[in-house]
Structure 1
Amino acid sequence: MLIFWKQKLVLLAVPKTGSTALEAELAPVADVAVVNPPGLKHCSVRKYRNRLAPFFERDGQRPMELVAVMREPIDWLASWFRYRARTALDGQANSTARVDFDAFVAAYLSDAPPDYARVGSQAKFLEGGVDHLFRYDRFPDLVAFLETRLDRKIELSEKNVSPARDALLSDALHDRLLHERRRDFDLWCSLCNG
């Protein structure tokens, strides 16, 4: 999470949406850069509004605009699936190295997901709304917005890239995912239509 005091902007770090690349480029010019622990770096809208906004916004006297990125839900899950297959996690409970994408999604949808499939929900992360929500597949739109608001050229380099791996989803699990995570897909569709 990056806070730009003068520009009244809070850039939320939705996991698996390019936040590490943005952090690498913009943390040096941010007034506050929360990079650890992960629970604060990836502070949700609700957590920001309930716990941090009173401090940073001086109890409502200096309202900040929230900015975030959302990724297409299946692509977002595929990124988690690939990221957790990296060799650094071999043998750990959150490794996906020994499951295929169908098994990962089925575990994600279960009532008690195993560690490797506990990744949350973008809709839940963004619950409460942000002022500026950008699509991951249109990252240049976000960069242009930030360049204008921060009055600086932004040159991003790839960071935290997931290893290449097939992420094929069966029709049955695709349909189940659409049904059971409707809020994520509805939010994504609102960005596609807006």
Structure 2
Amino acid sequence: MLIFWKHRFAMLAVPKTGTTALENALAPMADAAIVNPPGLKHCTVGKYRKELAPFFERNGRRPLELVAVMREPVDWLGSWFRYRSRPALDGQANSTSGMTFDAFLEAYLSDPQPDFAKVGAQSRFLQGGVDHLFRYDRPNDLLSFLQNRLGPLPAFGRHNESPPGQLHVSAGMEDRLRKACAKDFKLWQDLLDKG
């Protein structure tokens, strides 16, 4: 999470939406950069408003706009699946190595979820809403916003990328996913409808 106090906005770090690359490039320009622990780096809207806003916003006297990025829900889950298939996690409870994407989605939809499928939901992260929500698949929209607020931007590299992998989803599984994750798909559709 990056705080641009002088420019009056906070950039929230929705997991698997390119936020590590943003942090690496923009941290020197930020007034505060929270990159660890993961629970604070990936602070949800609700947690920010409850625990951090009073500190950074001086008890409401200097409100900060909230900025975040959202990824298409199946693509977002696919990124988690691929990220957890990397060799560094082999043999660990959160590894998806050797698994199909459908099997991962089945586990994600189960209750309780196994460790490898505990990735949360973008709709829960963004619950309460943000002032500026950008599409992951349209990075230039976010970059234009940042450039308008901050001025010239440094070069962005790629960081924390998921390895390549097959993301085939059966029709039946996609239907189940769309029903179970209706809030995520609605949030994404609303974002698409805005253009």
**d(CA) in 1 for partners of 2:175 and 2:105?**
11
Is the contact between residue 143 and residue 154 of structure 1 (CA under 8 Å) also seen in structure 2?
Answer: no
Gap regions ≥5 residues in structure 1? none
The structural deviation recorded for 1:91 is: 0.5
Matched, 1:191 2:191: yes
The AA in structure 2 aligned to 1:181 is: C
Is the contact between residue 2 and residue 27 of structure 1 (CA under 8 Å) also seen in structure 2?
Answer: yes
2:104 corresponds in structure 1 to 104
Q: Provide Cα deviations, 1:35-86, integer angstroms capped at 9, x if missing partner.
A: 0000000000000000000111111100000000000000000000000000
Is the contact between residue 147 and residue 154 of structure 1 (CA under 8 Å) also seen in structure 2?
Answer: no
2:127 corresponds in structure 1 to 127
2:162 corresponds in structure 1 to 162
2:66 aligned counterpart, secondary structure = strand
2:25 corresponds in structure 1 to 25
1:89 corresponds in structure 2 to 89
1:137 aligned counterpart, secondary structure = coil
The AA in structure 2 aligned to 1:159 is: H
**d(CA) in 2 for partners of 1:154 and 1:146?**
11
Identity fraction in percent: 62
1:151 corresponds in structure 2 to 151
**d(CA) in 2 for partners of 1:42 and 1:61?**
24
**d(CA) in 2 for partners of 1:7 and 1:29?**
10
The AA in structure 2 aligned to 1:90 is: D
Give runs of aligned pairs for residues 30-45 of structure 1, distance below 5 A.
30-45=30-45
The AA in structure 2 aligned to 1:109 is: L
Give runs of aligned pairs for residues 112-123 of structure 1, distance below 5 A.
112-123=112-123
**d(CA) in 2 for partners of 1:125 and 1:153?**
27
Matched, 1:177 2:190: no
The AA in structure 2 aligned to 1:160 is: N
**d(CA) in 2 for partners of 1:190 and 1:182?**
12
1:10 aligned counterpart, secondary structure = strand
**d(CA) in 2 for partners of 1:109 and 1:152?**
43
The structural deviation recorded for 1:166 is: 0.3
2:137 aligned counterpart, secondary structure = helix
**d(CA) in 2 for partners of 1:166 and 1:3?**
36
Gap regions ≥5 residues in structure 2? none
User: Normalised by the size of structure 2, how large is the TM-score?
Assistant: 0.98
2:13 aligned counterpart, secondary structure = coil
Bigger mean CA deviation after superposition, 56-65 or 150-159? 150-159
Q: Provide Cα deviations, 1:118-150, integer angstroms capped at 9, x if missing partner.
A: 000000000000000000000110011001101
The AA in structure 1 aligned to 2:171 is: D
**d(CA) in 1 for partners of 2:177 and 2:154?**
36
